[in-house]
Amino acid sequence: MPESQRAALIQALPYGRRYARALTRSQPRGDLLVAESLRTLTTSRPADDLPALCRLYQEISRHFSAQADHHHPEGSLSIRQRQLLLLLTLEEVSPPMAARILDLSDAEAERETERAYSFLKTGIQTSVLIIEDEPIIAMDIEELVLQCGHKVAGIAHTQEDAIRIAQETRPGLILADINLGSGGDGMRAVAEITKTHDAPIIYVTAYPERLLTGETSEPSFVITKPFEPLTLAVATYQAVSSFDLASS
């Protein structure tokens, strides 16, 4: 593989990790999926003119589809629908490019996307603890949470407040900023909360590439600020449904 292509893949890695982790609902399984996909990409010639990041998305999707159980219970999204939603919302890929990545026609991709969106409108509702140190941003996130049909368990601006509110409300989902400024650290708050309360976690950050290095224990679900209601709805479905699967 030419050095320029190798460098482009390295630059794409954080976003490939985010996609794979959300797809597999697990950091270890997601990172293994990325490693398998990279081995394929670095030992074969590019089949088309896709950018490096999109080729990585494509290989991750192919490997996951080949390994996954394609039976999905009634009341859940299919693998293809989940892949489309994650590409379109979490990774902000355009609809035509998402179709190319998944080897679908534009019409097929549009049809599956519409079905997935319809499902999400009736989707999972839960109570959400918002951990965010900036009051205005916290209010915006609160509005997005409500638009998705969830309840707000509370808003915490500091690490200490987050731990206290979680103990009092026992939220069904935690949506946490990573950097709380002088108020502490969002990941430390979550680590303390999860010692006594199990709940799925979604982290929000303006710099996901700094978090998705693959070098340490990291979150499975990461949203880039700013985000739209649909992005939150998709991430919530992934996080809560994965938590339900692990608990059952």
Res. 210 pLDDT band, cuts 50 70 90: low
> How much is the pTM?
0.78
Which residues, in sequence order, are bridge partners of residue 177?
A: 204
Tokens found for residue 177: 């900023």
Q: What is the mean pLDDT of the chain?
A: 86
At 103, list the tokens: 């080897």
Q: Is the pLDDT of residue 248 over 50?
A: no
Name residue 185's amino acid: D
- What would the two tokens of residue 12 be? 């794409």
Render pLDDT for 157-177 as a digit per residue (tens, 0 to 9). 999 999 999 999 999 999 999
Q: What share of the chain has pLDDT > 90, as a percent?
A: 50
Strands of the chain, DSSP E: 127-131, 151-156, 173-177, 201-205, 222-224
Least confident of 53-67, 73-87, 151-165, 166-180: 73-87
**At 129, is the secondary structure helix, strand, or coil?**
strand
- Under the banding of pLDDT at 50, 70 and 90, the label for residue 211 is low
pLDDT bin (cut points 50, 70, 90) of residue 83 is: very high
Q: Count other Cβ atoms within 10 Å, centred on residue 49.
A: 7
Any long-range contacts for 132-140 (C-beta under 8 Å, 24+ apart)?
132/156, 132/157, 132/176, 132/177, 132/180, 132/204, 133/157, 133/158, 133/177, 133/179, 133/180, 133/181, 133/182, 133/183, 137/177, 137/225, 140/226
Q: What angle do CA 51, 57, 63 make, to 5 degrees?
A: 135
Q: How far apart are CA 231 and CA 144, in angstroms?
A: 10
First to last CA, the chain: 44
* Cis preceding linkage at 226, omega within 30: yes
Q: What is the pLDDT of residue 53?
A: 95
pLDDT tens digits for 108-149?
999 999 999 888 877 678 899 999 999 999 999 999 888 888
**pLDDT exceeds cutoff 90 at 42:** no
